A and B are shown apart, each in its own frame.
Chain A
Amino acid sequence: MTFSHDVVIVGAGGAGLMAALYAKEGGADVGVVSKLHPLRSHTGAAQGGIGAALGNMEEDSWLWHAFDTVKGSDYVGDQDAIETMCKDAPRTIVELEHYGVPFSRNKEGKISQRRFGGHTRNFGEAPVRRACHAADRTGHTILHTLYDQCLKNDVRFYDEFQVLDLIMNDDDECAGVVAYEILTGEIHTFHAKTVCFATGGFGRAFKTTSNAHAGTGDGMSIFLRNGLPLEDMEFVQFHPTGLYRLGILITEGARGEGGILRNSDGERFMERYAPTVKDLAPRDLVSQCIYQEIRQGRGIKGKEYVHLDMTHVGSEILEKKLPEITMFSRTYLGVDPLKEPIPVAPTAHYAMGGIPTDYDGRVEIGQRGDIMPGLYAAGECACVSVHGANRLGTNSLLELVVFGRRAGMAMAKEVKEGKDFAAMPDNPEQRTRDMLDTILSRNDGEPVVNVRNDLQETMMDNVSVFRNDETLTTALDDLQELRERANNVVVRDKGKKFNTELMDAVEIQFMVDYAEAVAASAHHRTESRGAHSREDFPKRNDDDWLQHTLFHSDGKGNFEFGRKEVAITRFQPKERKY
């Protein structure tokens, strides 16, 4: 079937829902296409908070927030976008509150705020309470509230429709998307005046991750396959505190509420590395420090983890402000954080890179202002870039609502100003049909799981917190072979109805595409910056690398790089110390 809408949004997490609300409010007819039911989106997993200089607990200013974000990004975040976000943050939080988000409250009945890594008072003096939160289920309450608002406003949803391609016509305009309806196995086309991708992150390329099974980076790979570039893919955030072996997240809010990291000597090792903010140093630094401790033999019991000690924090705070993570620790590890420290290790968490956009969500295909008409992206799949080389906690939820909204408004405006449907090419779904038929008709080969395991293994071993020429070359060689294997997997389910195995087989192909973008971009950037730590190039090198990476690929293992300049407005690059 062909569906048509003024605005088609792919993805129904925080970014997609916010874009939908604002496109709708701007008078556009909106369809939201999502492979999961919206409430199953991974925004619901966000725990600790959403950042804004509301100043409800102590003095704060958007400029301090902006400075922290720029410094956190290791100066490769775009400062115009960062200013836009931090300035708009307090208004955004109030708007969410008016939508009904049940935020935790302080004694005066205002939204409660807590400390988070890298967020400071007065340009780095000391930690500040900036993270607005709903206990430790902030993302959950935001996701549900935004969904409720969409119901209220009659947004049209296409649930459990997986988008597999972008439709580009002969004039290089985007005409819509191709989607596979999971329930029926039908392939549909969506014709749209503007399309916005909000497909989330890609942590599933790594063996240990806090991301959902659905976090397979589909949107980014679809862009690559259509000849569009990805930006800054080398910058992947490893969150310092995932539950050991499982990767399930323990929010930074746990340290914000007083939790302490300790090595096998019981030492509070972050004091040595970041004397001012200690355990509340930004994530890139803390993850690197944890691995340093482990490498120097101070992992707990000689293993690859350290302790997150919450035993002194008290039951009141654990039960009231951190109930979910307290439960995760009890359920999955059998560890009661009240009585014993929690075993934790870094876990693949967040993609700083993604689809290049300006701060209205417009997709850029080269230098700044070089726009792809009618095409937008927002949320984790996009790279605005407000996070640069390292995202600060609480800035992602903020990015979703700020830039999701801006993309929604910009699309509605385009539609209002008369943007028409781009011409639909003949048989736009042919490529998708061929891809699925090829998979379904194959009867010999290996199952998806083997390929996925090997991909996750090589990415974890070679492209995680520390990298060097040798590990990255190994990963790239592995990925060449994995591409071949991913293109030849066999599925046993040949049916039309709810064939999730078929979607697994498509996703593994996507995973190879963006994993290659990550490994290749990491190999390309011969310096260390933020979350990208090259053992063979341990220093930041502003002369050559104060710039964004653009990665282009032909989807067959051949790629090339471009560069894009960083927007610097107020804050000149400095050495980064905490």
Chain B
Amino acid sequence: MKLNVKIKRYNPEEDEAPHWETYEAPADPLDSALALLLHVKWYEDGTLTFRKSCAHGICGSDAMQINGENKLACSILVQDLVSGDGDTVTFAPLPGSPVIKDLVIDQSRFFEKYRAVKPWMITDGPAPERERLQSPEDFDMIEDATKCIMCGACTHSCPSTWADPDYLGPAAMLKAYRYNLDTRDDGSNDRLDVVDSKDGLWKCYTIFNCVQACPKGIDITRWLSALKRQAVSSQL
């Protein structure tokens, strides 16, 4: 089939404002949305710019707005985006961060927030000779959160983030959860100092946009609620 690929374009060296351009691309129902973008870039217009690498949903490079929803371009198929020949698929950058060019956003703030939550293992006392033990049940508590590929689809779908650029957002706080609930870690209080704050947990109004956006199907709101409970009980 043939599809219209409508892309929000912006070249800071030439354009005053973003504008839409539409291209035609051949497509198979089983092609990914990324394949459509690659077709345009490779065969129609080499200036089209977007990030990509793994092409199968593990590197987190190509989160963007596709038909109005935040998705990984490589992990959504044409058959799930259109009903037939001549339909249109739209692509825009993730909303809420400055656009560098076309579909590429400036992720520096997103990663600063990540770093702010101290996303690393903090332990007291000397390490044992062998691995620290962890029961399969305790591992299950964090497994879902460890799937996060830091694509940013969640944080850039969150009205609290759009409204307040300082809000840590779901991705960073999920990382805090991932370490805080890890039975091997002793750094909960260090991270709670960061997330239990006006820019943190309490700006999450459980709107669930993040859960809907997450390409890895992570139950983000559930884990952030658990983190809220941890914050509350740590104050008791």
Contact = CB atoms under 8 A, between A and B. Distances in A.
Name the residue in B43, B58, B130 with the highest tally of chain A Cβ atoms < 10 Å from its Cβ: B58
A100 B127 CA distance: 12
Nearest to A39: B150
B30 A332 contact: yes
B147 to A, nearest CB: 7
A328 interface: yes
Contact of B120 (A97, A151, A212, A449): A151
A556 interface: no
B203 interface: no
Interface in A154-201: 183
Given A42-B59, A108-B133, A332-B56, A491 B149 contact: no
A141 B127 CA distance: 20
B53 A497 contact: no
A45 interface: yes
Contacts of A145: 121
Interface string B182-194: 1011000000000
Interface residues of B, number: 61
Contacts of A333: 30
B47 A495 contact: yes
A36 B61 contact: yes
B136 A501 contact: no
A494 to B, nearest CB: 9
B143 A39 contact: no
Interface in A421-469: 447-449
B91 interface: no
Contacts of B179: 100
Contacts of B142: 102
A577 interface: no
Nearest to A140: B58
A332 B100 CA distance: 30
A94 B149 CA distance: 24
A522 to B, nearest CB: 27
B43 to A, nearest CB: 7
Interface string A201-223: 00000000000111000000000
A104 interface: yes
B120 A41 contact: no
Interface string A130-168: 000011010011001100110110000000000000000
Contact of A102 (B60, B101, B118, B143): B143
Interface in A109-147: 109-111, 134-135, 137, 140-141, 144-145
A97 B128 CA distance: 11
A241 to B, nearest CB: 14
Contact of B42 (A40, A111, A449, A496): A449
Nearest to B106: A183
Contact of B46 (A141, A493, A498): A493
B225 interface: no
Contacts of A144: 146, 148, 150
Interface in A68-108: 93-94, 97-100, 102-108
A2 interface: no
A97 B61 contact: no
Nearest to B131: A97
A569 interface: no
B84 interface: no
B88 interface: no
A45 B54 CA distance: 7
Interface of B is mostly: loop
A530 to B, nearest CB: 27
B93 to A, nearest CB: 12
B58 A44 contact: yes
Contacts of B58: 44-45, 137, 140, 324
Contact of B132 (A40, A98, A152): A98
Given A98-B132, A148-B119, A331-B75, A41 B47 contact: no
A500 interface: yes
A564 interface: no
A493 B60 CA distance: 25
Contacts of B150: 39, 144
A198 B217 CA distance: 32
Interface string A498-539: 111100000000000000000000000000000000000000
A328 B51 CA distance: 21
B218 to A, nearest CB: 12
Give the contact-size bracket for chain A. 35 or more
A10 interface: no
B115 interface: yes
A498 B100 contact: yes
Contact of A100 (B49, B121, B129): B121
Interface string B154-187: 0000000000000000000000001100101100
A383 interface: no
A105 B136 contact: yes
A41 to B, nearest CB: 7
B127 A98 contact: yes
Contacts of B138: 109
B56 A42 contact: no
Contact of A36 (B53, B131, B133): B53
Contact of A40 (B46, B61, B136): B61
A546 B52 CA distance: 41
Contact of B54 (A212, A334, A448, A500): A212
A45 B56 contact: yes
Contacts of B77: 331-332
A492 interface: yes
B30 A94 contact: no
B53 A495 contact: no
B104 interface: yes
B41 A501 contact: yes
B45 interface: yes
B49 A105 contact: no
B119 A498 contact: no
- Point out which of B11, B52, B56, B129 has the most chain A C-beta atoms below 10 A from its C-beta: B56
A248 interface: yes
Closest 8 CB pairs of A and B: A100-B121, A109-B133, A449-B42, A492-B46, A152-B120, A148-B120, A97-B131, A501-B46
Interface of A: 36-37, 39-42, 44-45, 93-94, 97-100, 102-111, 134-135, 137, 140-141, 144-145, 148-149, 151-152, 183, 212-214, 248, 324, 328, 331-334, 447-449, 491-493, 495-501
12 contacts: A40-B51, A40-B54, A44-B54, A98-B123, A102-B143, A135-B143, A148-B120, A213-B54, A449-B42, A496-B13, A497-B12, A497-B101
Given A109-B136, A498-B101, 8 more contacts: A44-B149, A100-B182, A105-B139, A137-B58, A145-B121, A333-B30, A334-B30, A495-B47
